[in-house]
Amino acid sequence: MSRRSSAQPRARLAKKIGAAGTSAARRSYGRALMDHGDQLAQDSLKKNPAKMITLINACCSMTTTGLATDKSKRRNQTAPAT
């Protein structure tokens, strides 16, 4: 087995693990916001408003990326084989 062929499955596995970790982090953060969001938002905005805005932007970017990935997967699943 060549080095290249064994590296490709590893790269795919690493990508899947990274995606799972990102998804778990989003769920965990989302749960914390649902449980304590009002207080977290107030405290964060008082302490460092710029950081709060950066965090919200990062969440939006992750969501946009996730939606684009899902859309691409659906498109690939429904595309006719050539």
Give residue 3's pLDDT: 52
Task: Note whether residue 78 is domain-resident.
Answer: no
pLDDT of residue 6: 64
pLDDT value, residue 1: 47
**pLDDT above 70 covers what percent of the chain?**
87
Burial of 52 (0-12, 13-18, 19+ CB in 10 A): middle
* Mean pLDDT of the 69-77 span: 87
Question: Is residue 42 situated within a structural domain?
Answer: yes
Q: Is residue 17 part of a domain?
A: yes
Is 7 domain-assigned?
yes
Kindly state whether residue 39 falls inside one of the protein's structural domains.
yes
Give the chain's domain count.
1
The stretch 59-82 carries a mean pLDDT of 81
Asked if the model's pLDDT at residue 29 lies above 80, the reply is no
33 is in which domain, residue-wise? 3-67
Q: Flag whether 81 is in a domain.
A: no
Q: Report whether pLDDT(55) > 50.
A: yes
In a domain, 76, yes or no: no
